[in-house]
Structure 1
């Protein structure tokens, strides 16, 4: 099996007023003659290294089980940087959403042969990266057509944002671990992620979203989320 490649690029964000590193996975058979869907991952380096997402994509593409897809990882610099951009109360939270929707998407559409429609673009994230992915899709539902969530951090601000989104704006794939009942957070308190994700799940179901919800064995760690990579990529990008 020939593996795809991951290109590292630098991108200056006006919204964030900083240079952002992009990790761009291109399939082994990449050609400008083909059209590609997009999947944008916050916690991007983690998804490639700990989630092994590019390896999973290689295998599914080689077996012709998914459509052509370009995966763009956006890494964080450190814990403080991650929290400022991904946490609903973070100082760069709104700016990071603008970066994703108003700067990164136009850049990718200009650089690569993408479909340039909402259903051709997805967001994926774990924990706080899942939160920012969901909130970005909620704010820009015409830009992003699907969201894949691994154990997102949920609070009142997140719940209220989802309640305001029209039900058919985007599809949601939502996974939570059954052991995520006492998870340490950067706030210095422990949260019951399972209970709060169940409450979020009810909102998605009541509103009639195109929605997949899974409760799986495991804790709030990459050991849990990595096991879901093949299913998540296959189910959301099936040919």
Structure 2
């Protein structure tokens, strides 16, 4: 009897000293992973527990059959009940104290988990081959870590990012609204010319419109991140890709549906 594998998929567990907990993760790779000498590009994702709900096994297995997409491995980091504390911005917690362990999470990813992957898995050592993505608060975390560690990553993908994350409560008529933490993260960093960004929102991400300009906050915040990136010297369109889904919601089905488009952007052959 012979078996033919279409892909490889497995679950792993990693003991993190920085987080003082066991981190579960999902690994998925093309069927020839064991036979080839290739060092694969990597898609690292926060909120890896949503792998099944977003139907990513189908997305990746189909992507592996396309000549237009470079073979890659997927690694999804699962969160636990401390998600609201571990995700965020490493520079500071938000004004309610959320994200207080974001620095520890960043150190886990950069100092523990990625070195482990590079040692024990067939993954590329080239930063240009690494893509970091996430959804909602996990997207904010992926952006913050990827942007601050541009020597390790080449691309960043964010789905409905929690770019509203702020150091003080929103004040009405605050037009500049510089209390949003990520804007200063971008402003105060040195530009990494190679970085590319994929940002997605849905027109039904939410109903809130704090500044009453007729644009929901999720889209407003993402457009302001794009504005800040452009001020740093990144081109739009070009370095920055923005995808706005008409009728798209702040949910797993919306993100899962647009994910094949993101994979093509991340690993499509030029």
The alignment's TM-score, normalised by the length of structure 2, stands at 0.80
For residues 4 and 75 of structure 1, the distance between their equivalents in structure 2, rounded to whole angstroms, comes to: 21
Q: Post-superposition shift, 1:151?
A: 0.8
Q: Determine the structure 2 residue equivalent to 1:168.
A: 193
1:180 aligns with 2:227: no
Q: Determine the structure 2 residue equivalent to 1:187.
A: none
Q: 29-38 or 89-98: which moved more?
A: 29-38
1:213 aligns with 2:249: no
Q: Does the 8 A contact of 1:3 with 1:55 survive in 2? A: no
For residues 124 and 245 of structure 2, the distance between their equivalents in structure 1, rounded to whole angstroms, comes to: 33
Q: Determine the structure 2 residue equivalent to 1:9.
A: 12
Q: Please state whether the residue corresponding to 1:7 is helix, strand or coil.
A: strand
CA RMSD of aligned residues (A): 1.8
Q: Determine the structure 2 residue equivalent to 1:60.
A: 63
Q: Please state whether the residue corresponding to 1:158 is helix, strand or coil.
A: helix
1:35 aligns with 2:39: yes
Q: Deviations over 1:121-170 (max 9, x none)?
A: 11010000000000001221101111111011013111111223315152
1:226 aligns with 2:227: no
1:82 aligns with 2:56: no
Q: Deviations over 1:41-98 (max 9, x none)?
A: 100121x1122223211111112221121110111123xx111111332121001011
The alignment's TM-score, normalised by the length of structure 1, stands at 0.89
For residues 195 and 204 of structure 1, the distance between their equivalents in structure 2, rounded to whole angstroms, comes to: 14
For residues 206 and 145 of structure 2, the distance between their equivalents in structure 1, rounded to whole angstroms, comes to: 26
User: Which structure shows the bigger proportion of residues in helix conformation?
Assistant: 1
Q: Is there any run of 5+ residues in structure 1 with no aligned partner, and where? A: 184-190
Q: Determine the structure 2 residue equivalent to 1:127.
A: 136
Q: Give the greater-gyration-radius structure (CA).
A: 2
Q: Does the 8 A contact of 2:206 with 2:250 survive in 1? A: no
